[in-house]
Amino acid sequence: MIRHIVFFTVKAAVDVETVRSGLMALGRIPHSRHFEVTVNRKVDLYANDIDIVVYAEFDDDAALDAFKAHPLYEATTRAVRPLRELRFSADVLATVSETVSA
């Protein structure tokens, strides 16, 4: 399983909800087993720069690649890019024994 985690900063605070709702469109793309977009609570003692977090889980690299190749992914990127400042992404390989069910 791959955990796809993306952190965004937004240029203007008034655009945080616009970016969040725009990124929510990615949840309509098939291929992910789990997808969510959340606004950072900004309660860390040392750094609260990140505004939005995208978290998705994929069965394998092929599923993640198919997600990124979907036309809605490109359309969402075009819509959100002008409003965001920074984007940090990490794709973490997780084994079944590392996952915790709720």
- Render pLDDT for 58-90 as a digit per residue (tens, 0 to 9): 999 999 999 999 999 999 999 999 999 999 999
Q: Nearest-5° angle of CA 94, CA 72, CA 81? A: 85
The token pair at 4 is: 């796809």
CB 69 within 8 A of CB 61: no
Domains and CATH numbers, the chain: 2-95 (3.30.70.100)
pTM confidence score = 0.88
Beta bridge partners of 38: 53
CB 8 within 8 A of CB 19: yes
Of the chain, the percentage scoring pLDDT greater than 90 comes to 91
For residue range 7-22, list pLDDT tens digits in order. Answer: 999 999 999 999 999 9
